[in-house]
Each structure stands twice: as C-alpha cells, then as structure tokens.
Structure 1
Amino acid sequence: MTRVLVFDSGVGGLSIVRSIENQAPHIIVDYAADAGFFPYGLKTDEELQARLPMLCEALIQEAKPDIFVMACNTASTLALEGVRARVNIPVVGTVPAIKPAAALTTSGVIGVLATPGTIRRSYLDKLEHEYAANITVLRHGTSGLVELAERYVRGEALSQAAFDTVIAPLFQMENGHRIDVLVLACTHFPLVRSQIEKACPEHVMHIIDTGEAIAKQVLRLSSGEKENKHSPDRRVLLTGGKANRKAYAPVLEKFGFTKVNTLDL
C-alpha cells in the first residue's frame, strides 16, 4: 500500500489531503506542517531556499513515505527542484492552475489569488508566458486570506465581510470587472471556498484550484501498489513545539489525524 506525505507551511495542505483521500481512499496519507516557520508568504526567498530542502529531506527520513507532496505554491515555486535533488522518492509540486484557467476563460481575463510570495515569483511569469500569452492575468497577493483560512479551519467565527475586504482589491484592478475565471493559487484557499465564492462578483463563472490535479498525479505515481512496510496509522509531523501541537490539534482531528509528533527543525 502506498504511503504519501503531504507537506505545507500550515493547514492549507489539508485541502490536498482531502482531494487525495476522495480519489484514493486506499492510500495512506500522512501530513507535515512547518508551523514553526509559518507563514511562508511573508518570508524572503533566501530564507525559504535555505530551509526547505533540508526540512523536507528530514521529514521524509522521519515519515518514510513512498511519495512526497509539496502542497504549497510558495514552497514549490522556490524549492521544488532543490528538494527533488536531495531525496530518492517522487516529489509532486503545487503550481498555480494558469493553464486550465486560460483554457476556460471566455472574457480573456483571469484572476489569481495567491500569497504575496507566489505573486512576485518569476515562476508565475513563466506559466503566464507559456500558457496564457494572449490572456490578461490579474494577480492579487494576500497574506490576510491565508490567516483567515487558518482561523476559520480552527473553528473561529469570522464574518463574510472579512473575506470580502481581502479579496476586493483583485476586482478593483483595471479589467477586474472582466474576470470570469479565478485561480486559487494557495492550498489554504479551498478550505474557505464558500466564503471566496460569496466574495466574488457575478461575472466570475469558474473558481479552480490544483487539488484534483495533484490527487491524479499521486494516483499515477502509486500505480502498481506495493506491500506497505509501515504502520497504517496516519500521523502528523509539526515543527514549532508543543504550543503549535495544541493549537493544531482541533483542526487535525477534523481531518482524522489524532497522532501528532513535534520535531525540532
């Protein structure tokens, strides 16, 4: 049986866990969150490039998965190749869904909601050049929406107005009134999809993320199931000590994770 380790800076990657388990309930999915270094969107490229390959290698050595999923756009756009170079298992990255969005739009204008870090990276420029050369792509980087998603998933009551406020600047841009496809370029955002939908004007016809595509790639890599040599118990690895373990416990339990270990990384 295939074992997968899904990694993110916080709880966002749980949306990827859900997608994988919906498509492949036979796969064992463990989770890792770099809670001690959260949020990635506000860290410098240099900080993340120095940390991520080392951290991901250590997490893989601890969890011993067959497949590693970097369920974080910021981490993937910066360190995907660096991580692949240090480990000997398949590594699945997460990149903004520019290609399917460009194929869906009829207005010729798509919007991208992401973290500030993802928005400014040349990787996104490359995706636009390759798949959306004749499309207008409007980007909005918001760390506030990441924080709202974290608070919401942990059970905090939040007003719809809070979501409206952080999303509104995207549609206030020039040509924002023409956006008909919205790309959720952060794995935190599908966790608050209903609130995002309510915050969007009526001209937004499609909202897409990468969860389904990542789950399909995991299934392709796991074809030819092998006997599982590890415990079938699903587990979570957290950085940041006991305080983060206590803070994350309620949301992790919602996703079926009860075994949580903290790592000093």
Structure 2
Amino acid sequence: MQPPSADAPILFFDSGLGGLTVLGPTRALLPTARIVYAADYAGLPYGQKSDAELAARVPALLGRLVERYQPRLAVIACNTASTIALAHVRAALDLPIVGTVPAIKPAAALTKSGVIGVLGTEATVRQPYVDDLSAKFAADKIVLRHGSPGLVTGAEAKLRGEPVDPEVIERAIAGLRDQPGGEAMDVIVLACTHFPLLQAELQATAGPDVRFIDGAEGIARRIAYLTEGQDWPAVASPGTAVFTRSDERPPPPLAALEPFGIGRIETI
C-alpha cells in the first residue's frame, strides 16, 4: 500500500457528539492531523437499536464516509457501534479501524473494593463482548452494569448549552449503586463516549470516593501508534464535522464544536 498523503484525514465516527471525547486526546498527540468527525444524527440513539440494525447500518455508512473523505484511518468512537459492528466494519473496509471498548481492564487494576460499575448504553451493557472482558480481566471482581439512554441525551444537551436534567444523573448512579454490592463500588467505567461529557455531574452525585475511567487516552495512543512515521501537515487546520441529515435533530451550532478544533459543518 502507498503511504497516505500528509492531508489524508483521520475519520472519527459516532452516533452523535460523544466521540469528541476521543478526538480531544488524539489532537493533543497529533496536533496537525487533518480531522473529519462524523455523527450519525439520523440514527441516534444507537443504544436503543437492535444489534442486527447496527451491524448493517454502521459498515454501510462508514463505507460512504471512507469513499467521500479518503481517510488514512477510521476510529469508531462509539462503544455501542464497536461492540456490535467492529468486526463487520473491518471485514468491509480496507484501511485500519480503531474501535472503542469498555475500559474494564484498567478499572480492575484501580479498584480497591473489588466492585466495578460499567455505565453504558442499553445495547453496550448487554453485549457478550462485555462478558468476555469481565471474565478475562475482572474475574475476581464484582462487575455491575447499567444502561442509561438518558445520559446520551443529557450529553448532547450540555454541548448545546442546554441544562442537564439532574434526575437523569441520579438515576444513572442509582442504577449501579442499588444493585447487590453496589454500595462498595469505587470505580465506574464510562462505557459510552458521550458520558465523559457529564463526568462532573456524575462525580458530584457518586461522591468523591468513586473514580471514573474511560478509554479515550488509550485510543489516542493507539491512533498515534498506527500512524507512526506517516507524514502530517506542517500546520493545523480546522476540522470538518459531518452529520447525517435528521429532521428531528439539526446539527449543533459551530460554536459548540470549535473548542474541539472543528471549523466547518456538513450534512449528508
């Protein structure tokens, strides 16, 4: 394969704006990389879709995006899409694909009490992939799971400058803590890229004795490793955000995306 040109972008893909939490650490490591950030607003929320629907939708949409933007690498910055469709995407596309999986391994190393919470979408927390991660890295721990679709809506609202419903935050934490053993939980895995956008609110409700962890830093390091030695632009340029067209959900104002290095919005 020919090495990519310096202008070839990194493509980030998510159902909405949660993948911005992965984009941030990546830009810190690769500050001049050209960025295309794609959000499937027409399909949001992914957490309430069937596995079969996502296994078909995600590879097809990523195929269109790869054809249009010719990225050097694609990042599925969405736990739900990764746990369901990552293998399908890798089979369909001829370029490196980085997925996002719940950070259960580092959580198991952090916990002192032996009780870990996994907070994700309904689709993510029911996946056998989470069973496998728990068995492999946390077999001697108690791993509690809770699916919270309201946190995705809350994170999207927060980025738009709208208030976050405190009851959504309280229900999410209670969904873990009210399970047997939940009172001893001292680490929570944020198993949805949207959820770190609400970490301050979640921390205030969970209390200072609970640590939160997500996989964004590890994903950024993986992207840097896979692109090591490749050419990059000499100077940074504003990235492009691409939204699938939705009558119910227009793209956010550009001002909400500019702190993440986005300078242009497109719809497809």
Q: TM-score of the superposition, structure 2-length normalised?
A: 0.91
Mapping for residues 1-80 of structure 1, pairs under 5 Å: 1=6, 3-80=9-86
Letter in 1 for 2:76: M
Mapping for residues 79-228 of structure 1, pairs under 5 Å: 79-204=85-210, 206-226=211-231
Q: Does 1:258 align with 2:257?
A: no
- Is contact 1:177-1:203 (8 Å) kept? no
What is the rounded CA distance, in whole Å, between the counterparts of 1:178 and 1:236 in structure 2? 41
Change (3 A) 1:50 1:189: same
Q: Could you say what secondary structure the match of 1:26 adopts? A: coil
What is the rounded CA distance, in whole Å, between the counterparts of 1:122 and 1:248 in structure 2? 37
Change (3 A) 1:162 1:41: closer
Deviation at 1:202, TM superposition (A): 4.0
- Is contact 2:98-2:219 (8 Å) kept? yes
Change (3 A) 1:108 1:55: same
- Is contact 2:54-2:84 (8 Å) kept? yes
Deviation at 1:135, TM superposition (A): 0.9
What is the rounded CA distance, in whole Å, between the counterparts of 2:17 and 2:265 in structure 1? 14
What is the rounded CA distance, in whole Å, between the counterparts of 2:225 and 2:204 in structure 1? 34
Q: 2:3 corresponds to which residue? A: none
Q: How many residues of Structure 1 are paired with residues of Structure 2 in the alignment?
A: 260
- Is contact 1:241-1:262 (8 Å) kept? no
What is the rounded CA distance, in whole Å, between the counterparts of 2:9 and 2:186 in structure 1? 38
Contiguous gaps of at least 5 residues in structure 2: 1-5
Contiguous gaps of at least 5 residues in structure 1: none
What is the rounded CA distance, in whole Å, between the counterparts of 2:193 and 2:106 in structure 1? 17
Measured on the aligned residues, the alpha-carbon RMSD in Å equals 1.9
What is the rounded CA distance, in whole Å, between the counterparts of 1:223 and 1:17 in structure 2? 17
